[in-house]
Amino acid sequence: MKFSYSWLCDHLETDKNATEIGDALTNLGLELESLTDYSSYSKFVVATIKDFHKHPNADRLNICTVDDGTKTYQVICGANNVKKGLKGIFAKDGMYIPGTQIYLKKGKIRGEISEGMLLSERELNLSDDHDGIIELSDNFENGTSAINALKLNDPVFEIGITPNRGDCLGVRGVARDLSAKGIGKLKPLKYEKITKLDFESPISWNIENDNNSCEYVISRYFKDVKNTVSPEWLQKKLISLGLRPINALVDITNFITHDLGRPLHVFDADKVGKKLHMRLAKPNEKILALDNKEYTLDSNSTVIADNNNALAIAGIIGGESSGCTEDTKNVFLEVAIFEKDSVAKTGRTLGINSDARYRFERGLDKNMVIEGLDYASFLINKICGGSVSKNIDSGKLDTNERKIKYKFDYFEKVIGIKLEPKKQIKILKDLKFQINQSNEKECHLLVPSWRNDIENNIDVVEEVIRIHGYENIIESIPSSSEVEIIKINNSPINKKFKVIKKLKRILISNGVSEIITFSFHSKKAHEILSGDKSLKISNAISDDQSFMRNSMIFNHLETAEMNYKKGFKNIQIFEIGPIYNTSQSQENILSLLISSQEKTNSIFKSEDFNFYSISNIVSKFISSLNFDVKQFNISRSTSNKFHPGQSAELKMGKKLIARYGKVHPLVMEEFSKLKNSYAIELFFENLPIDSMSRINSTNILDSQFQFSEKDFSFVFEKDQNLFEVQRYVNGIDKNLIKNVEFFDLYESKNLGENSKSVTFRVTIQSKDKTLDEKDLEQIHKNILEKVSYKFKANIRT
């Protein structure tokens, strides 16, 4: 909210300056967002363009001769409103220009010297207007300070109002809060109540029963008014808010909205019927509003209507057809209490952010209904003349006094410092709480009518500490207990973060860089990974971020391609983060992409990167998590992200542990530069956390006795799963077979279409003795027989 210092002083008697008030506002929770204090603008002065001619080297620039009252300067100016005799605001060499945040420096522009600058409103931070330089209408003398010429002698505060503080959406409310903090005294509102209400209003109200969004409405009819341009004081106030003065009747309602936080509305009484209704809109009922837009309403919105048409959207915006213009002769003033949820809902549905809506949806001071009516009547009558009708109302104003039984010691329990009941009572009184029946322990409070946000003891504690000052809360640091530390050490999530850290350390020490990409992926990714059940975001910012990713591969390929265009040819990146399958199923996985495109260096030949390289990397990761890759079941991956013949899945039971291989050529169609790309998806959350983060040793003793190695070659069926063979061989004699290492795979026509020849080396060693020839022969025979029988494999010699 915005207001000027002088406006605040209409309500607050204070000797504090703008900076002190700004600090107090922040300490009250009315955060000062900006204080525009123009005192430094005295250095900018009025100057006249005495003459100008075209810049010889630039079409759009002019060379002006500028007189600031003491001297003439040559100024190069690009504004399109340059003309002889124009009076503007001039800045000299060395001055700081607030709007552009630079210091002016005398210098040449396209070869011509420029000794200063004529300023636009934007360059002075007065508005966003940069269409041309400021043109002063009045005939100020050259050298007059910009503060006087532009009437900037009034600092402007802009404060942030949190949603609970609807009471501060009027300058008076802000002044009231400041007075409670001891920053001055609240002045009484200065106006005279009109007592001569001598005729019945020809227009009357009806709040329809089907609608509980309007609690109460009260009106007066003003006869024979003369709507004019507002007086200067009123115009100035609106301009200080950035509002455009329209005519007195409209300006008065806008002023009261911002002064008292009390929105109200004026109808041109000759443009509406004699009976006005508060009713729900009809389905698809249309209204052209004061913002010149037509809105189509639904039956949840409340409208003000006569017997024929909707005239206004209740609590949000008036209608164009019934608005007051300079020709308005008779006025109907409406002051109502609308239910805040209903206003919020309608406003959100229609997308209208009006000053009225903003205030209604934060809740109004019900005691301000009559005050607003009286204050507006006074101003209308004073400025526009005419006579005023008796009140006409409908509904019942439920002032709903809120009473709270407050216990003083609750303050100390929550805040941690002692504050005597006497001091608490003083603060509450300053905030205009009424205190009844108080004793040492507790008191009965009556909440001020404007504080709709205060309902219970904790709300009262907040008020007391807010005024007492957060700076008075004494800090203490609760230290950790043994129980907490043990809990941390045993927490699976803490362990998981340790495992993640371990993985990251392994990856970066192996040349893989960590990236973080959005949890979204593009519409394209969604379409290409067909069968992809990723969730759609209803209100995505763009198509590129319109689905929740169920894989990171597409994002990573995009990242790789972007880096490829920056000159990186061999890209190794990873991300540990979430992927989303359904709304309630999210897994954190490790996704790694290796895209190696360059082998042209004749000296540093990078090895051919293929499926087996990636399979080796997976094996290393898995072993760093204290598992052996061969413990898992391997099968071809059926994911459409991967090349069907060069990708694999590792599973433990039904749980997917890893998926890796060459990225599917159809996906790669989108990334023509990155043909040779491989990815790994490690679903580490599916592994038991205590095994992954194990720190104790596994206690296997090295045997002292001699070992023996023997190679075996078999011809298997082509689709024989070799993980199974390996596990089987290992299991033939768990005590003696120490290691089974596969080292050759061979396919040829001689073997037959459906066969492959595989060689592995078995290491045999006993814990108890050196094995003799006979022992070894027995094991060899065992392996040959069992493997050939189990897998229907032929022994190759």
Q: Please, which of residues 497-556 interact with other proteins by CB under 8 A?
A: 497, 501, 504-505, 507-520, 535-541, 545, 548, 555-556
For residues 103-142, which are near other proteins according to CB under 8 A? Answer: none
- Looking at 321-405, list the stretches that DSSP marks H as alpha helix, in order from N- to C-terminal side: 340-350, 355-360, 368-384
- For CA atoms 193, 198, 201, 202, the dihedral sign is negative
For residues 391-450, which are near other proteins according to CB under 8 A? Answer: 413-417
User: Which part of the chain contacts other proteins (CB under 8 A), choosing from 239-247, 388-396, 436-444, 487-495?
Assistant: 487-495
Nearer to other proteins, 326 or 484 (CB): 484
Is 475 an interacting residue with respect to other proteins (CB under 8 A)? yes
How many residues in total does the chain contain? 797
Is 586 an interacting residue with respect to other proteins (CB under 8 A)? yes
Q: Among 288, 458, 666, 745, which residue interacts with other proteins (rule: CB under 8 A)?
A: 458
Instruction: Give min distance, CB of 140 to other proteins, in A.
Output: 36
- Cα–Cα distance for residue pair 442/438, rounded to 1 Å: 6
Contacts of 676 (CB under 8 A, 6+ apart): 595, 596, 597, 609
Measuring CA to CA, how many Å separate 238 from each of 254, 257, 264?
Answer: 8, 11, 16
Residue with tokens 């071809």: 636
Question: Are 90 and 114 spatial neighbours (Cβ–Cβ below 8 Å)?
Answer: no
Residues in binding contact with other proteins, number by CB under 8 A: 93
Is 493 an interacting residue with respect to other proteins (CB under 8 A)? yes
- Cα–Cα distance for residue pair 148/241, rounded to 1 Å: 19
For residues 657-686, which are near other proteins according to CB under 8 A? Answer: none
For residues 8-37, which are near other proteins according to CB under 8 A? Answer: 26-29, 31
Here's the x/- map for other proteins, 45-84, by CB under 8 A: it reads as ----------------------------------------
Amino acid in the structure at residue 336: A
Question: Are 10 and 171 spatial neighbours (Cβ–Cβ below 8 Å)?
Answer: yes
Instruction: Give min distance, CB of 308 to other proteins, in A.
Output: 31
Sheet bearing 275-280, strands edge to edge: 204-207, 275-280, 302-305, 310-313, 317-318
Is 565 an interacting residue with respect to other proteins (CB under 8 A)? no
Is 602 an interacting residue with respect to other proteins (CB under 8 A)? no
Beta bridge partners of 12: 186
Instruction: Give min distance, CB of 608 to other proteins, in A.
Output: 17
Choose among 715, 646, 714, 640: nearest CA to 677. Answer: 646
Instruction: Give min distance, CB of 442 to other proteins, in A.
Output: 16
- Cα–Cα distance for residue pair 681/668, rounded to 1 Å: 17
Q: Among 477, 695, 700, 701, which residue interacts with other proteins (rule: CB under 8 A)?
A: 477
For residues 772-791, which are near other proteins according to CB under 8 A? Answer: none
Instruction: Give min distance, CB of 572 to other proteins, in A.
Output: 7
Q: Give 5-54 as a 3 state SS string.
A: HHHHHHHEECCCCHHHHHHHHHHCCCCEEEEECHHHHHHCEEEEEEEEEE
User: Which part of the chain contacts other proteins (CB under 8 A), choosing from 220-228, 251-259, 276-284, 474-482?
Assistant: 474-482
Nearer to other proteins, 475 or 773 (CB): 475
For residues 287-346, which are near other proteins according to CB under 8 A? Answer: 340-341, 344-345
For residues 603-662, which are near other proteins according to CB under 8 A? Answer: 603-604
Nearer to other proteins, 145 or 452 (CB): 452
Q: Among 199, 233, 470, 612, which residue interacts with other proteins (rule: CB under 8 A)?
A: 470
Measuring CA to CA, how many Å separate 568 from each of 559, 592, 595, 601, 602?
Answer: 11, 17, 10, 14, 18
Is 225 an interacting residue with respect to other proteins (CB under 8 A)? no
Is 370 an interacting residue with respect to other proteins (CB under 8 A)? no
Q: Among 84, 286, 429, 487, which residue interacts with other proteins (rule: CB under 8 A)?
A: 487
Measuring CA to CA, how many Å separate 781 from each of 383, 712, 732, 774?
Answer: 115, 11, 11, 11
Nearer to other proteins, 154 or 361 (CB): 361
- Looking at 659-720, list the stretches that DSSP marks H as alpha helix, in order from N- to C-terminal side: 665-668, 689-692
Nearer to other proteins, 326 or 409 (CB): 409
Question: Are 461 and 448 spatial neighbours (Cβ–Cβ below 8 Å)?
Answer: no
